[in-house]
Structure 1
Amino acid sequence: MFLTVSTTGTPERPATDLGHLLHKHPGKAQAFSTSFGTAHVLYPEADDERCTAALLLEVDAVALVRRSKGRGGRGGAPDAALAQYVNDRPYAASSLLAVALSAVFSSALRGVCRARPELPGQPRPLRIEIPALPARGGAALVQRLFAPLGWTVTADAVPLDTRFPQWGDSRYVRLVLESDTVTLAEALRHLYVLLPVLDDAKHYWVAPDEVDKLLRAGEGWLPAHPEQHLITSRYLSRRWSLTRQARERLELARLAESDDSAVEEIDNAVAADTDTEPPTDTGTGTGVGDGTEAGPGTGADGGPGADTETGAGTGERSVPLAVQRREAILAELAAAGAARVLDLGCGQGQLVQALLKDVRYTEIVGVDVSVRALTIAARRLRLDRMGERQAARVTLRQGSLVYTDKQLKGYDAAVLSEVVEHLDLPRLPALEYAVFGAARPRTVLVTTPNVEYNVRWETLPAGHVRHGDHRFEWTREQFRTWAGEVAARHGYTVGFRPVGPDDPEVGPPTQMAVFTLASGERPHEPRGTREQHEQHERHEKTDEKEAKAA
């Protein structure tokens, strides 16, 4: 098993700096023991202009068999007994080489160089060669995995036998990677993850801690990689529970990076029940990816801290406002004849649960930015125990509502229940365009607190909003103005409904806008102002640049 890393340099920036980066002296040949053989590091060439470090891994195949307690096959798979002794592991780059890389070049992989701390962060010309790389997916997959990371990829298929070309190519390739923009630490992390992915096998049991290893090695590049799902699935040996956990954490990392927020700020929609506010209109986790999800008790409706009264703390128990709001939404959806519904900012899934009880709704999609909120929703719905036909009707997805998503197109209706007030006002245009300009369902329902009604809450101090995470709360006139402008920009008509007791002086506690696509408008054809289009194009270009830079 063989790998070389080469770089070029000048007298001012000598190529032999590679020795500092790898923490291995160019003038010495060194050997390191591993549990499966011996790793040798040597430098075939080392001067100011060019330096090459070689890693030669001598694998003891018999020792591997003994360590695996006689289990057959590659990585312990129950193949023929002969495969325990006749296999490619001593020669083909695989998870064995990846483990050796992390053990022998551990400091370089972490980007640490105590002698020259400025070196790890500096990209330099790199050329990596692996003469025998198993690639289950062929040269095309190798290209798809490495090219988005800034590598120029040459992957030449190795023939099964040069004497018999009619036999075709083997599953091995000779790989050459070249780049002037990738640091050595990034290069080693790419190899550490992608070598076993291409081999689609590991020589050891994949335990839960492999998720942490993947995320550490994939930091900065894996969240935005176009083949992220394939990489996570293969790296974790297709263990679904681990793969799902990794994807959730990667999506949080991507959203946090996009919004310049900490992951903890993004995934805080379901917190401990520490709410000290009065019974109020907390609504739902926003699912909009702005890092400002509601804190304690932010289920879609009726969770801890949700509305428990129809009035303003008079002590008279009646139908909770959360239930009234949900019933009002269901009534409008039924009146619209919707069958395929989006619950945008679904929180803990109360509305999704109510929709599932009605057979007229054939497809229900709940979207939220919080993994924890979606986990609670899945438990509430008992997705793991649900029958196949019922499970086919519902999907829970993690996503940010301030970014356009092609998968949200084509639905009859979308619900934004107690969502908009959790966004900063400058972010509303992005939400508006993503829902009304890009997704364009035929019906959109938006509910939000009526700030005028707050005076009726006896336990709510004057001037306070109903929940600490609310960025604003609108009067009836402000809400009607915003909704009217949105409808005019995107080809909708809009009507308004009170939710809860309609006080003659201050109006209802919750206000609802019902947007209906105007006749003659195409439901799924993107529409919006030129400024909105340009803004989203800038966002998409920025995301593409960040992905390429990663």
Structure 2
Amino acid sequence: MLLTMTTTHRPATDLGFLLHKHPGRAQSFPAPSGTAHVFYPRADEAACTAALLLEVDPVGLVRGRASSLTQYVNDRPYVAGSLLAVALGSVFRTAMNGRCDARPELAATAIPLRVEVPALGSPDAALPAALFEPLGWAVDSTAVPLDPAEPSWGDSRYVTLVLTGELRLADALKQLYVLLPVLDGSKHYWIDQDEVDKLLRAGEGWLAAHPERELITRRYLGRSRPLARSALERLAEADDVPEEALDNALDGPVAAPPSLAGQRRAAVLAALKGSGARRVLDLGCGEGALLRDLVREPSFTEVLGVDVSSRALAVAERRLHLDTLSDRARERIALRQSSLTYADAELAGYDAAVLMEVVEHLEEDRLPALEQAVFEAARPGAVVVTTPNSEYNVLFESLAPNAFRHPDHRFEWTRAQFREWAGGVGSRYGYAIVHLPVGPEDPALGSPTQLAVFTRKQEA
């Protein structure tokens, strides 16, 4: 199995830094299914192509503990995408995580990419476009004939896939890692709860908003209904998947309660309306889940979404359809790139601000900077803060012991820790605090989400 990645970013040989594989050497690595070879057919300033060639050991593969292949069955027609994805994740793991100490700015930059897979299983030649086009790729998928000499035999279940686009290399690798086995619809090893964690890690930032997320989840998880539901519940929690997606992912209807993400947004809106706010800041707005609800509420005359990530703001702009809003509606909503740990004069003077599931993404030693920027420099009339309640985590069956709910969380507070932090902020900056539960309450462990409303005291 062969996959090539080409860039014309100049100097193109920087691709070697991003992949952590030197363009001047051919290298071989042990892979779970055999041997993976990395080499560069072309490496110059104008263009650089990295090739991953997987040499499968069928005998060793079926003898592996986790193998789901029947003894002596040829693996290639059934799970080629799965084998290639595992090799991709194994050989380019550091690149997939977005790390490049030699060129950190390049690792964070979208570069032109061309990905080619000469032969890849797909039940439908149109499926690759449905999977990759929503992610910004231009897709050329050509069915491979059963026999070029016998056109009457028709096409095989394989396609030649060519993807072109401009993406961060880490994002491209994560998408390939998930979607190659999705195209095959099968894997070469047993699928268990660990696969849910892998899917959510690799799908962070793009899977929840994908129009085919249910299909992707089902096929990636081997059409396991319990695992698909577990994955979609966690997507709803972390990435704002509409709760009806949980039903659509299954073969039959299943009654699903409102998602925690939906309950959290409703609680934040109620707190904002209760404060009487008209001009609202959504700090750390991400891809715009809350912004959509804020814009729909007519009592908010001005809404500003703020995030440090330009990519997240671009997604939010698409989600909000800012380019098609009426002039009157467009005047009520704006987006701004800014860091929440530095004072920004443009954020001062608002009636209320929201930090919804934001503080836990910061290192704890950066919280004083956040406090000063929000409660001292911006100093809105009210601040609504939500954060996970770590005590509740033991009730999430799919969450490993002592694990955080999201891979980017730096900490998760107990109820006592959150109250201690909030009390200190209120005392230092002159805010009264009210604590509210969000989500189903457990008598001993509390609610899954903690919410605090900070109201600025009248200054003497």
Superposition TM-score, scaled by structure 1 size? 0.47
Task: Specify the SS of the correspondent of 2:126.
Answer: helix
In the alignment, is residue 102 of structure 1 matched against residue 54 of structure 2? no
Q: Contact (CA 8 Å) 1:156, 1:173: kept in 2 or not?
A: yes
Q: Contact (CA 8 Å) 2:62, 2:69: kept in 1 or not?
A: no
Candidates 205, 230, 236, aligned match of 2:215: 230
Deviation at 1:35?
2.7
Aligned to 1:8: 8
Q: Contact (CA 8 Å) 1:36, 1:60: kept in 2 or not?
A: yes
Distance 1:430 1:102 in 2: 35
Task: Specify the SS of the correspondent of 1:226.
Answer: coil
Deviation at 1:160?
1.2
Which segments of 5 or more consecutive residues in structure 1 lack a partner in the other structure? 70-74, 257-288, 290-366, 372-390, 404-415, 438-481, 483-530, 543-550
**One-letter amino acid matched to 2:176:** L
Distance 1:432 1:66, change over 3 A: closer
Distance 1:432 1:184 in 2: 34
Distance 1:203 1:24, change over 3 A: same
Candidates 19, 30, 46, aligned match of 1:22: 19
Deviation at 1:68?
5.8
Distance 1:16 1:397, change over 3 A: same
Aligned to 1:411: none
Distance 1:167 1:148 in 2: 33
Deviation at 1:422?
4.1
Distance 1:430 1:203, change over 3 A: closer
Deviation at 1:63?
1.7
Structure with higher strand content? 2
Deviation at 1:402?
11
In the alignment, is residue 32 of structure 1 matched against residue 17 of structure 2? no
Identity %: 52
Distance 1:38 1:105 in 2: 14
Candidates 24, 39, 42, aligned match of 2:39: 42
Deviation at 1:86?
3.2
Q: Contact (CA 8 Å) 1:429, 1:532: kept in 2 or not?
A: no
In the alignment, is residue 142 of structure 1 matched against residue 128 of structure 2? yes
Deviation at 1:124?
1.2
Q: Contact (CA 8 Å) 1:233, 1:240: kept in 2 or not?
A: yes
Deviation at 1:130?
0.1
**One-letter amino acid matched to 1:8:** T
Deviation at 1:254?
2.7
Alignment of 1:233-382 (within 5 A): 233-255=218-240
In the alignment, is residue 213 of structure 1 matched against residue 198 of structure 2? yes
Distance 1:16 1:162 in 2: 37
- TM-superposition CA deviations, 1:373-409 (whole Å, max 9, x none): xxxxxxxxxxxxxxxxxx9796534374899xxxxxx
Distance 1:225 1:537 in 2: 28
Q: Contact (CA 8 Å) 1:2, 1:55: kept in 2 or not?
A: yes
Q: Contact (CA 8 Å) 1:93, 1:130: kept in 2 or not?
A: no
In the alignment, is residue 86 of structure 1 matched against residue 74 of structure 2? yes
- TM-superposition CA deviations, 1:234-286 (whole Å, max 9, x none): 11112222211211221223339xxxxxxxxxxxxxxxxxxxxxxxxxxxxxx
Distance 1:184 1:153 in 2: 17
Q: Contact (CA 8 Å) 1:38, 1:59: kept in 2 or not?
A: yes
Candidates 158, 171, 177, aligned match of 1:186: 171
Task: Specify the SS of the correspondent of 1:119.
Answer: helix
Candidates 257, 263, 280, aligned match of 1:396: 257
Q: Contact (CA 8 Å) 1:42, 1:54: kept in 2 or not?
A: yes
Q: Contact (CA 8 Å) 1:26, 1:43: kept in 2 or not?
A: yes
Aligned to 1:356: none
Distance 1:192 1:18 in 2: 18
Distance 1:394 1:236, change over 3 A: closer
Aligned to 1:303: none
Distance 1:117 1:234 in 2: 34
Q: Contact (CA 8 Å) 2:8, 2:112: kept in 1 or not?
A: yes
Deviation at 1:6?
0.6
Which has more radius of gyration?
A: 1
Deviation at 1:17?
0.3
Distance 1:232 1:89 in 2: 22
In the alignment, is residue 160 of structure 1 matched against residue 146 of structure 2? yes
Which segments of 5 or more consecutive residues in structure 2 lack a partner in the other structure? 247-251, 281-289, 300-324, 337-460
Aligned to 1:57: 54
Distance 1:242 1:77 in 2: 21
Aligned to 1:170: 156
Task: Specify the SS of the correspondent of 2:159.
Answer: strand
Deviation at 1:53?
0.6
Task: Specify the SS of the correspondent of 1:41.
Answer: strand
Task: Specify the SS of the correspondent of 1:76.
Answer: coil
Q: Contact (CA 8 Å) 2:80, 2:121: kept in 1 or not?
A: yes
Distance 2:98 2:69 in 1: 35
Distance 2:35 2:56 in 1: 7
Distance 2:292 2:139 in 1: 37
- TM-superposition CA deviations, 1:510-531 (whole Å, max 9, x none): xxxxxxxxxxxxxxxxxxxxx9
Q: Contact (CA 8 Å) 2:269, 2:294: kept in 1 or not?
A: no
- TM-superposition CA deviations, 1:174-193 (whole Å, max 9, x none): 0000012x111111001000
In the alignment, is residue 131 of structure 1 matched against residue 123 of structure 2? no
Q: Contact (CA 8 Å) 2:77, 2:121: kept in 1 or not?
A: no
Aligned to 1:114: 101
Superposition TM-score, scaled by structure 2 size? 0.56
Alignment of 1:491-502 (within 5 A): none
Task: Specify the SS of the correspondent of 1:143.
Answer: helix
- TM-superposition CA deviations, 1:36-71 (whole Å, max 9, x none): 2100000111110111110100001122222269xx
Task: Specify the SS of the correspondent of 2:107.
Answer: coil
- TM-superposition CA deviations, 1:53-96 (whole Å, max 9, x none): 10100001122222269xxxxx6366xx7xx3334259x74111
Distance 1:166 1:245, change over 3 A: same
Distance 1:245 1:42, change over 3 A: same
Deviation at 1:536?
9.3
Aligned to 2:181: 196
Q: Contact (CA 8 Å) 2:118, 2:159: kept in 1 or not?
A: yes
